[in-house]
Amino acid sequence: MIIKILGPGCRNCRNLEKNTREALASLGIDAGIEAVTDYAQIAGYGLMQTPGLVVDGQLVLAGKVPSTEELTTILSSR
């Protein structure tokens, strides 16, 4: 599983990364997380509002920071 956090590195981006790491740990998934801060790359995913979450090349979340529980549900369905 390849995970990317899209955004400028703001507090919401950091919170999304933290919650994503917690969700991955609860699922027992060992996946690296890449922070993408380059606006050209972010725009390439069609993201209009940060932060964004990309899983295996697909944008699955945009513009919000879901709870660890919500992320667990999202990631377990992948």
- Which is nearest to 45 in space by CA: 78, 14, 7? 7
The pLDDT tens digits of the residues spanning 47-78 come to 999 999 999 999 999 999 999 999 999 999 88
Domain span at 13: 3-76
Report the C-alpha gap between 76 and 40 in whole angstroms. Answer: 29
Number of domains in the chain: 1
Prediction pTM value: 0.92
Active site positions, annotated: 10, 13
The pLDDT tens digits of the residues spanning 6-35 come to 999 999 999 999 999 999 999 999 999 999
pLDDT value for 46: 94
What is the CATH classification number for the domain harbouring 13? 3.40.30.10
